[in-house]
Amino acid sequence: MDIPTYTPATAPVPEGVSVIERASTPQDLGPKLNRTAADVVRFLLQQGEMVTATQSLSDEMIELFAADVGAEIRLVNPGEEQEVELQKVLDLDDDEDLDYESLPHRAPVITVMGHVDHGKTKLLDQIRNANVVAGEAGGITQHIGAYQVVKDGKPLTFIDTPGHEAFTAMRARGADSTDIVVLVVAADDGVMPQTLEAIQHARAAEVPIVVAVNKIDRENADPNRVLQQLSEHDLVPEAWGGDTIVCEISALQNIGIDELLENLTVVAELEDLRADPEGRARGTVLEAHLDMGRGPVATILVQRGTLRVGDPLVAGPAWGRVRALITDKGEQVKEAGPSTPVEVLGLSDVAQAGDDFVVAPDERKAKAVAETRERWHREASRARDASVMSHGARLEDIFAQIQAGEQAVLNLIVKADVQGSLEAVTESLRKLERPEVKIGFVLRGVGGITESDIQLAATSSATIIGFNVRPGRSARDLAQAEDVEIRTYEIIYKLLEDIEAAMVGMLEPEFEEVVTGEAEVREVFRVPRVGAVAGCMVQNGTITRGSKVRFLREGTIIWKGEISSLRRFKEDVREVQSGFECGIGLSDFQDLKPGDVIETYDLREIPRS
């Protein structure tokens, strides 16, 4: 089956060229070429083609008639005419005679890249004085984070990319959106596979590279070995006669950070980065996710023009009027100029990470373009997975099919917290396919695991994979009733190891998480010298002091730890049963809000089959 491909109609349309949609009827075609439908039917009849005024025409018929009347045409996919019109408007913006030297300077966009666990996020921690690493599962960045800081009165925009090999596409997006790359290399580890990949991405984007040799405070640190390895890949330090700026830093000890920022400011000045803040905003979507309280949220980077609240926006298959713009510090702003990263609220759907966004002339055009794109994305996805899913099985049945010598198809429903993670998980799982085991994706989506996901898994014999998301209690109960398997993960390499082990039949004993209790936060109390205490109602099971705990907000895990204190009224208690109120203190988590869910669990070893 041919898979339909979607190519945005972004190429400029020359003056005098008519845009015609494929499969147009004579009624559609005639007026666009200053003819009637009867003229089209008559001409095709003379060519031996019997058609009616409402019959769809082939590309050849349309081109024959256009040639006969001496018209130049450009054929586009059905529904794409609106996109061409949008592009014409944008091209008019581009045609403005702008003197680059007269444009105002903009902040440099600096992407921090490197191998996993080499200290990229810790470096940004020091730069922006915020503890991001503590919130990352296993200390591994699994999203693109975008931040803006000010150094000596000059703004600098930073993008933090993941280092794990599964997030190649996200690193490529970071490099494509950037002006300068900071390559972080650990002094005690040296150049690693993702380091080399980051260098390739930066060179492909043709941007300057500044090397930050991190962890120089470690006992086994050897910066000279790192410089030697970098030289072998044509990154020769200035101290060795090359042109690569190298800064030795310790993100943990806050050593060399100021020197690194000063060098980045100098490189930005040499690059002479400018942008036009006027006109319709354009840029790229760095990340996107579904927030149950706020709806679809996209992290975008404005590259040209100024984005304002109320603008009609189209980003890939998503569109909407901008309802709010939120900075990385959580502040709402009315507008965002070039090189500014912001979260956008108000889109109709979760945007595709890596898509370009643009402000449309009006909502009608934005909606028409987005709906066309969405339809092509959906058809391409359906065609790709249809043949695979028809004879699919759940993960627990795969081993039996392999042993029986059959080609097994593993049906999966994949849910993730953000679009970039979903993309990385999907592509990584595709790479696990082998001749005897294929993977069919019944559904891929952003957001928590819902009851509709369970029902779909039950009817399609699919296993549900949750990455940084959890099912609610009702979804969990339905899964148990329908015998649907849900596997949740927070670190991507554990997910891939588990699925691969199951696919090759290397099934070893595992620990099963048994949820023992669930409490909803009703009120938050601030106690001097103690901090935040959650006033809760136990909804299900038993809450026990010292239990392992997950803190859930709208189905997404935002913290894991232990219960440090448990009280009924003013007395310390060991446990609280379902239906009773209690006060819960968490070991080192203070960001409590009413409506959050505290979920306790135990680990039980079970044999795998």
Backbone angles phi, psi at 342, to 5 degrees: -145, 155
Helix then strand then coil, in percent of the chain rounded to 5, is: 30, 35, 35
How are beta strands 324-326 and 332-333 bridged, if at all? antiparallel
Over residues 321-340, the pLDDT tens digits come to 999 998 887 888 999 999 88
- Is 352 a member of any domain? yes
Q: Which CA distances in Å does 458 have to 413, 420, 461, 470, 479?
A: 11, 27, 5, 18, 8
- Is 382 a member of any domain? no
How far apart CA 598 and CA 518 sit, in angstroms, is: 6
Between 552 and 114, name the one with better pLDDT: 552
Claim to verify: residue 313 and residue 456 sit in the same structural domain? no
- Is 102 a member of any domain? no
**pTM assigned to the model:** 0.57
User: What's the pLDDT band for 309 if we cut at 50, 70, 90?
Assistant: very high
Claim to verify: residue 253 and residue 294 sit in the same structural domain? no
Claim to verify: residue 522 and residue 501 sit in the same structural domain? no
How far apart CA 600 and CA 34 sit, in angstroms, is: 71
Claim to verify: residue 453 and residue 559 sit in the same structural domain? no
| CATH code of 437's domain | 3.40.50.10050
* Secondary structure E strands in 196-281: 209-214, 245-248
CB 319 within 8 A of CB 290: no
Backbone angles phi, psi at 94, to 5 degrees: -70, -25
Last residue of a domain, one of 59, 94, 129: 94
Claim to verify: residue 290 and residue 424 sit in the same structural domain? no
Over residues 559-575, the pLDDT tens digits come to 888 888 888 887 888 88
Number of domains making up the chain:
5
**Sheet bearing 109-114, strands edge to edge:** 145-151, 154-160, 109-114, 180-186, 209-214, 245-248
DSSP lists the bridge partners of residue 537 as: 520, 581
Residue 136 tokens, joined? 């990352």
Between 231 and 509, name the one with better pLDDT: 231
Last residue of a domain, one of 507, 524, 552: 507
What pLDDT, on a 0 to 100 scale, did the predictor assign at position 194?
77
Backbone angles phi, psi at 149, to 5 degrees: -125, 165
Q: Is 245 exposed, middle or buried (0-12, 13-18, 19+ CB in 10 A)?
A: buried
User: What's at 16, amino acid-wise?
Assistant: G
- Domain extent for 589: 513-606
Residue 24 tokens, joined? 């147009």
DSSP lists the bridge partners of residue 515 as: 601
**Sheet bearing 318-321, strands edge to edge:** 318-321, 312-315, 356-359, 282-291, 295-304, 341-345, 324-326, 332-333
DSSP lists the bridge partners of residue 532 as: 526
Claim to verify: residue 123 and residue 267 sit in the same structural domain? yes
Phi-psi region of 361 (alpha: psi -120 to 50; beta: other; left: phi over 0): alpha
3-class DSSP state of 124: helix
Residue 276 tokens, joined? 């036009």
Q: Which of 8-22, 248-262, 450-464 has the lowest mean pLDDT?
A: 8-22
Over residues 143-167, the pLDDT tens digits come to 446 788 887 788 888 887 654 343 3
Claim to verify: residue 443 and residue 401 sit in the same structural domain? yes
User: Look-up: residue for tokens 């030697």?
Assistant: 228
User: What's the pLDDT band for 135 if we cut at 50, 70, 90?
Assistant: very low
What pLDDT, on a 0 to 100 scale, did the predictor assign at position 344?
92
How far apart CA 304 and CA 556 sit, in angstroms, is: 34
CB 306 within 8 A of CB 340: no
| CATH code of 558's domain | 2.40.30.10
